[in-house]
A and B are shown apart, each in its own frame.
Chain A
Amino acid sequence: ILNVEQSPQSLHVQEGDSTNFTCSFPSSNFYALHWYRWETAKSPEALFVMTLNGDEKKKGRISATLNTKEGYSYLYIKGSQPEDSATYLCAFMGSGGYQKVTFGIGTKLQVIP
């Protein structure tokens, strides 16, 4: 059974604070890691697809890094805004069963104005 862990499971930050959270996954048989942003009553929306060790991706104030050797990815949000409030999911694709996707439980972020 593949274990994809996210921490923390929930987080409250003040508007303007920067924050980060972690996704850990099996370091063997890595193929790709996805980050999704999931607002309440909406569908998950892709943020990043990461495939190479050392990848760093950025979209506005949100960025992500990837370390496949040690099996973790960080998601950073700089200067959090209330509209960043959402659940952030990571999803792991391994090379054995490459279309099988394993999700973490998510980190629920609440940005307090």
Chain B
Amino acid sequence: EPEVTQTPSHQVTQMGQEVILRCVPISNHLYFYWYRQILGQKVEFLVSFYNNEISEKSEIFDDQFSVERPDGSNFTLKIRSTKLEDSAMYFCASTGLAYFNEQFFGPGTRLTVL
């Protein structure tokens, strides 16, 4: 059964460093998402991506964040200069023909900023 994969599963970085979180969505899906969950808090929407551009983004998704789909299979989230408060679980998700359809989530990347 097709699934969304994410790498790495855990990333530890120093404050101020850049990190790139990688996702491979399900191959025929068209809509891609990044979410994060800070420990004990709600899952928060970061950004949605369709047709090679950002379609929606939240207030959290400021200039330090960017997304890319460089090669038609990978979908990456870059955090330019990490802060302590960026420590969270980051989930990628994708969905098929219609954006309101069920989303398929990856296993997540736990980012720890020291």
Stretch of A14-22, A66-74, A78-86, A91-99 contacting B (4+ beta carbons < 8 Å): A91-99
In the complex, which residues 51-67 of chain B have their Cβ closer than 8 Å to any Cβ of chain A? 55-56, 58
Does A105 have its Cβ within 8 Å of any Cβ on chain B? yes
Contact, CB under 8 Å: A97 / B103: no
Determine the distance from Cα of A106 to Cα of B42 in the docked complex, in whole angstroms.
Answer: 8
Which residues of chain A come closer than 8 Å to B42, judged between CB atoms? 103-106
Interface centre among A32, A44, A46 (most CB of B within 10 A): A44
Contact, CB under 8 Å: A46 / B102: yes
- Count of A-B residue pairs with CB < 8 Å: 56
Q: How many chain A residues touch the partner (CB < 8 A)?
A: 24
Does A101 have its Cβ within 8 Å of any Cβ on chain B? yes
Which residues of chain B come closer than 8 Å to A42, judged between CB atoms? 107
Q: How many chain B residues touch the partner (CB < 8 A)?
A: 25
> Chain A: interface secondary structure?
strand
Which residues of chain B come closer than 8 Å to A49, judged between CB atoms? 100-102
Contact, CB under 8 Å: B91 / A43: yes
Determine the distance from Cα of A101 to Cα of B102 in the docked complex, in whole angstroms.
Answer: 12
Determine the distance from Cα of A45 to Cα of B93 in the docked complex, in whole angstroms.
Answer: 11
Does A89 have its Cβ within 8 Å of any Cβ on chain B? yes
Does B25 have its Cβ within 8 Å of any Cβ on chain A? no
Q: Using a CB–CB distance below 8 Å, which chain A residues touch chain B?
A: 31-32, 34, 36, 42-46, 49, 51, 89, 91, 93, 97-106
Q: Please name 13 pairs of A and B residues whose Cβ atoms are closer than 8 Å in the assembled complex, sorted by A.
A: A36-B105, A43-B91, A89-B43, A91-B43, A99-B31, A99-B33, A99-B50, A100-B58, A101-B35, A101-B48, A103-B35, A103-B43, A103-B44
